[in-house]
Amino acid sequence: MTPSIPSPMRTLQAVAVGYLPRVLQARGWALAAMPLLPVLTAIGVAALVQAQGGRISPAESIKVFHEVIVKIMVPIMALVAAPVGIREDLEQRTLPLMLVRPAPPWVYPLAKGLPWFLWGAIWLALSAFGLAAMGASAESVLRGALALVGLYWAELAFFTLLGLVLKRGTLWGALYIFIWDPLVRIMPGNLQRFTFLHYGESIAGSRAAEMGVKEIFAQAPVESPVWVALLVLLAFGLLCWAACGWKLQATPVGLAGRDAEG
């Protein structure tokens, strides 16, 4: 008797729930600490300054958000979380065991990545709300949380796809984030639309804390409507997850090791 194939939604739920304990191990807690540490440190410094009679400008919260969390912490979180999804099965030679199960293979990348996304999104949102203690307005806090979650969704999906298609996907992802995004500041303005940073900044709003002498030499920032930026990040993430599913669907069941890595 041929076993019935579970529906994609049932497969997604089963794999995500079964994989959740893996997220709550040491790597998961390290992931949670990444966005919180800079915010807690900034809050501690602000409290110390105020205790000595000083005053912290709300603009400092904008600087912490843009310069530390958006540019550094979110990409690092995605780089840390992406390899422990479907890529982990490639490296540990367990992918053939997954593919022979009676379930739609194209669901597995999203199913294994979804717990990491939800876990990271919780702590990113908390870090954004923590900036309210430094004087950030309610609107900027809400927009900041949306920007961080949207960026993490798109970058996690993108790095997962690179890891599934390329042998050194994490390295290429790091080069894209930490070299392409900074370089685009001195390139024609429309090229900014090909960066994650542009859409994150469009959602979050003010970049006043970043403006300085470098803007004389760099291109002025290009703005996109908030709803457009959110839609682009959501759609790009979905497209990357779909491409991951297609890649896995096209992988022969018996393939493992170097030949399965693309």
Instruction: Provide the greatest CA pair distance for the chain.
Output: 78
The model's pTM: 0.85
Most confident of 42-51, 92-101, 193-202, 211-220: 193-202
Asked if the model's pLDDT at residue 239 lies above 90, the reply is: yes
Asked if the model's pLDDT at residue 209 lies above 50, the reply is: no
Domain range list for the chain: 19-261
Give yes or no for a contact between 123 and 35, defined as CB atoms under 8 angstroms apart: yes
137 Cβ contact list (under 8 Å, min separation 6)? 58
Per-residue pLDDT tens over the stretch 137-176: 888 899 999 999 999 999 999 999 998 888 777 888 888 8
Q: At 4, is the pLDDT very low, low, confident or very high (cuts 50, 70, 90)? A: low
Percent over 70 (pLDDT), the chain = 80
Percent over 90 (pLDDT), the chain = 29
From 84, 166, 93, 144, select the one nearest 117 (Cα to Cα). 84
Asked if the model's pLDDT at residue 5 lies above 80, the reply is: no
DSSP character string of the chain: -PPPPPPHHHHHHHHHHHHHHHHTSHHHHHHHHHHHHHHHHHHHHHHHHHHTT----THHHHHIIIIIIIIIIHHHHHHHHGGGTHHHHHHTT-HHHHHTSSS-GGGHHHHHHHHHHHHHHHHHHHHHHHGGGGT--HHHHHHHHHHHHHHHHHHHHHHHHHHHH-TTHHHHHHHIIIIIHHHGGGS-GGGGGGSHHHHHHHHH---GGG-STHHHHSPPPP---HHHHHHHHHHHHHHHHHHHHHHHHTS-TT--GGGGG-
